[in-house]
Amino acid sequence: MLKRAFAVIVALTLLLSLFTGCVGDKGSETSSSLNLIEGPEPETIDPALNSSVDGGTYILHFFEGLTRIDKDENVVPGVAEKWDILEGGTKYVFHLRDNIKWSDGEPVKAQDYEYAWKRALDPKTASPYASILYYIKNAEEFNTGKAKVEDVGIKTTDDKTIEVTLKAPTSYMLKLMGFPTYMPVRKDIIEKYGDKWTQSAESYVTNGAYKLQEWKHKDVLEMVKNDNYWDKENIHIQKINWKLVEDDNAALNAYDSGEVDAILNNHIPVDEVQNLINEGKAKVYPMLGTYYIEFSIKNKPVDNVKLRKALSLAIDRQQLVDTVTKAGQKPATGLVPYGTTSAVEGKDFRNDGEGINFFEPTAKVDAAKKLLAEAGYPDGKGVPPIEIVYNTNTSHQKVMEFLQEQWKKNLGIDVKISNMEWKTLIPKRQKHDFIITRSGWFADFNDPMSFLSIFVTGDGNNNPGYDNPQYNALIKKAQLSGDQKERMKAMHEAEKLLMDDMPAVPLYFYVIYQMENPKLKGMITSKLGFNYLHYATIE
């Protein structure tokens, strides 16, 4: 009770600056305004630099790709009103709508997409998500310094037409065209404002359903309806205030007090989740995502693969989901979660006959101790200091404390846990500046490739610094093959190799749990983790 009472004070202090006008406010003049919590301060809202789900959600409201999703999460025309798929699926020609404008009234051109994609691929940009563009011919080669920008398979023939040539047929290419990294940006804006272009309403020029009103750092990100958006007549929410909150207890009390209309993307205190679900106050959505820890495998002592495997075997994943997370998550049996597509009709990647369950739900302490001794640390003696770093969040803290307790009890290893701001942890992970870190991955598209490609050498999201030529070759084989069975076989082999090398330890498969005001209708919570307010209304 004291914890909750303190959190109420924190919540009220944090939220004093929020606009009134939530769904639940009676007689409010701003009843079409929403106050939401999606997460803490994002590291960036630059489409080329973002690598987080919360940042991606903001970007998808500010910008629109050549495609977008409808209310049923099907791919539909976005800025492109139509397209042609040619040359056996290796060439796409997109035709932009007429009279598409940026938020400052300037016309949206095909060249804006070409510029944005090549900017993300430019090694100088250092985009962590550049690899999601590698399906385009010579994109990887340009990003890695082996080709020139003019060699990349992106060509604008006029202001309304853009041609994209792929390395190989890619069945989910139209889905990728709506992904945050594929959003357009303006060259003149980037050149004028440089790295500061995302920081003000004047410089953050967008082409999507919303435009930036103000970003009050560590407080609120305010967006308002973009009157220049081509489909503005179907956008019903006039304003969205995304409150930037790290403390889940503060978030819950803000919701209970009516200060916010929804807590999104798993930001409910873990101790409260099960009761709130049972009471019907929290909703649970399916998700394609995996929660895991990562090792910086060139740093001691986790450069020892037997130590990494011992740490994994000592974790009781079933106990973790039963006593800590408590929202219907499943213990992770591999990196790729259940529900991810496969070549076998009616089956997913985990249970298609070739899928392997690498981990059992319960701990295997004897096997863990044996490996620990083989690693040179019998009974945990002599293990150098180990620290787990995680982004500040009470739910993550509970998981890290569980691991700390498991490793102490089962292996005799003392582990330190440390938290830091999300925007601080992201670059730390990208620089491999850690021993163990909390991590997780939500699918960018429904295919095992979305989970496996991030561990390719040099990928911007390869936090462990994993480097295995055999693994790279298997992923490349899957990327270039047009045969679905051959692709899946290569990815099964890749996952087996990855779990044998163990740069990461999967813990559980995500679900999404959220609290939403019943009067908020039509919000889409995607299996990819993004929340869309484009079709939302207030009852």
Estimate the share of the chain in helix, then strand, then coil, as percent rounded to the nearest 5: 35, 20, 45
b/e map 43-76, b = 16+ CB within 10 Å? bbbbbbbbbbbbbbbbbbbbbbbbbbbeeeeebe
Answer yes or no: is pLDDT of 76 > 50.
yes
Q: What's residue 31's pLDDT?
A: 52
Structural class in CATH, domain 2-40+209-284+513-538: alpha beta
Give 163's contacts (C-beta < 8 A, 6+ positions apart). 91, 92, 93, 94, 154, 155, 156, 157
CATH fold for domain 67-190: Dipeptide-binding Protein; domain 1 (3.90.76)
Q: Is the pLDDT of residue 530 over 70?
A: yes
Residue from 422, 430, 440, 455 nearest 218 by CA: 422
- What is the H or E stretch that residue 84 is in? strand 80-86
User: Residue 506 is encoded by which pair of tokens?
Assistant: 């999967």
- Residue 28 confidence (pLDDT) above 70: no
Distances (CA, A) of 346 to 72, 340, 342, 420, 527: 20, 11, 8, 42, 18
Residues of the chain with pLDDT > 90: what percent?
90
List the Cα angle 127/493/502 in 5-degree steps.
65
Cα separation, 324 vs 6, whole angstroms = 22
How high is the pLDDT of residue 20?
39
Q: What's domain 289-509's architecture?
A: Roll (3.10)
Using only C-alpha atoms, the chain has a radius of gyration, in whole angstroms, of 23
**pLDDT tens figures, 129-140:** 999 999 999 999
Residue with tokens 């994209």: 164
Q: What angle do CA 380, 384, 388 make, to 5 degrees?
A: 95
How many CA atoms lie within 13 Å of 128's alpha carbon, on the beta-carbon side? 20
The pLDDT value given to residue 14: 42
Among 176, 137, 170, 130, which residue's Cα sits nearest to residue 153?
137
Domain ranges of the chain: 2-40+209-284+513-538, 67-190, 289-509
* Average confidence (pLDDT) over 84-100: 97
29-43, 232-246, 296-310, 321-335: which has the minimum mean pLDDT?
Answer: 29-43
For residue 380, what is the DSSP state? G
Confidence bin at 355 (pLDDT 50/70/90): confident
Provide φ and ψ at 305, rounded to 5°.
-65, -30
Q: What is the DSSP string of 109-169?
A: -HHHHHHHHHHHHSTTT--TTGGGGTTBTTHHHHHTTSS-GGGSSEEEEETTEEEEEBSS-
pLDDT value at position 305? 98
pLDDT at 18 over 90: no
Element (H, E) at 401: helix 394-411
β-partners of residue 223 are 212, 240
For residue 499, the surrounding DSSP H or E stretch is: helix 484-501
| Type and span of the H or E element at 34 | strand 33-39
Q: Among all chains, which residue has been given the structure tokens 């300037």? A: 106
Classified as helix, coil or strand, 332 is coil
299 exposure class (CB count in 10 Å sphere: 0-12, 13-18, 19+) = middle
SS (H, E, C) 86-105: EHHHCEEEEEECCCCECCCC
Task: Give the CA diameter of the chain.
Answer: 70
Spatial separation of the C-alpha atoms in residues 298 and 254, rounded to whole Å:
43
| Amino acid at position 312, single letter | S
Structure tokens given for 273: 């989740």
- pLDDT at 23 (0 to 100): 58
Helices (H) and strands (E) in the chain, counts: 16, 23
More confident residue, 395 or 388: 388
Which pLDDT score is estimated for 502?
A: 98
The rounded distance, in Å, linking the Cα atoms of 489 and 494 is: 9
Per-residue model confidence (pLDDT) at position 38: 96
d(CA 460, CA 303) in angstroms, rounded, equals 20
539, pLDDT greater than 90: no
Q: For residue 5, what pLDDT band results from cuts at 50, 70 and 90?
A: very low
| 3-state secondary structure (DSSP) of residue 71 | coil
Does the pTM surpass 0.75? The reply is yes
User: What's the mean pLDDT in 441-460?
Assistant: 94
Mean pLDDT of the chain: 93
Note the pLDDT tens digit of each residue in 398-419: 999 999 999 999 999 999 999 9
11-40 average pLDDT score: 58
* pLDDT surpassing 60 at residue 268: yes
Contact (CB, 8 A) for 43 and 195: no
Distance CA 42, CA 516 (A): 22
Q: Is the pLDDT of residue 282 over 90?
A: yes
> Which of 92, 110, 65 lies closest to 153, judged by CA?
92
